[in-house]
């Protein structure tokens, strides 16, 4: 479990193709302190398991499913990702509950910079959009954000200067893809609603 509060941006140092999957090595720097093999770490919002460690560099294995659902397979050498270690019992919750399970991809279609602030507008699959609501929570590339607007055409977020500076979101360009995890409560609400509609239909 994560919070969507990014601890640092970390750099891709090694990539190895393994069948339909990949093995990736990232330089975690100070974030590697205390990390053990088997630990869960979110990279751009995707929960991955540490499989090897050498000093401050950690390796992760990504299967075909992860590569197809996330943007991680498109990273180039030296590319940066948002990094967050898993939540520990007793930690303070500053974002919202994030599972690290990516639901799909979104695409930046409009960016409006207003001084030090930025407003981003994304498109995504209709199934994801219907799990979003204005002023609700969403995780984009591992960053916990509040939705400004959301409808069947897309969604928008407003980014403060700190987020633009401390995460990879500040470097996004038009057409770039981002990993999306919708709010877990929205998933349950949609599931219950779908079941109720199904029951009503079957009882007619």
Question: pLDDT tens digits for 123-171?
Answer: 999 999 999 999 999 999 999 999 999 999 999 999 999 999 999 999 9
pTM listed for this prediction: 0.90
Residues 157 and 126 occupy one common structural domain: yes
Residues 123 and 188 occupy one common structural domain: yes
Residue 199 within a domain: no
The CATH number given to whatever domain includes residue 29 is 2.40.30.20
Residues 110 and 186 occupy one common structural domain: yes
Residue 142 within a domain: yes
Residues 79 and 115 occupy one common structural domain: no
Please tell me the total count of domains within the chain.
2
Contact 166, 82 (CB under 8 A): no
162 CB-contact burial (10 Å; exposed 0-12 / middle 13-18 / buried 19+):
exposed
Residue 186 within a domain: yes
């Amino acid at each position: 479990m994560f919070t969507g509060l990014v601890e640092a941006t970390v750099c891709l140092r090694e990539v190895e193709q393994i069948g339909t999957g990949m093995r990736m090595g990232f330089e975690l720097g100070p974030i590697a302190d205390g990390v053990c093999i088997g630990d869960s770490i979110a990279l751009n919002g995707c929960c991955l398991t540490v499989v090897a460690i050498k000093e401050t560099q950690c390796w992760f294995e990504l299967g075909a499913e992860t590569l197809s659902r996330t943007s991680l397979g498109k990273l180039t050498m030296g590319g940066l990702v948002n990094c967050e270690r898993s939540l520990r019992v007793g930690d303070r919750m500053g974002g919202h509950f994030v599972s690290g399970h990516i639901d799909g991809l979104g695409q930046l279609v409009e960016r409006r910079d207003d001084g030090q602030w930025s407003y981003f507008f994304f498109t995504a699959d209709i199934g994801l959009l219907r799990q979003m609501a204005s002023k609700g929570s969403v995780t984009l590339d591992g960053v916990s954000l509040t939705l400004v607007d959301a409808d069947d055409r897309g969604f928008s977020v407003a980014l403060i200067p700190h987020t633009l500076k401390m995460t990879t979101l500040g470097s996004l360009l038009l057409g770039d893809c981002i990993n999306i995890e919708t709010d877990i409560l929205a998933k349950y609400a949609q599931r219950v609603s779908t079941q109720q509609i199904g029951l009503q239909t079957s009882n007619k």
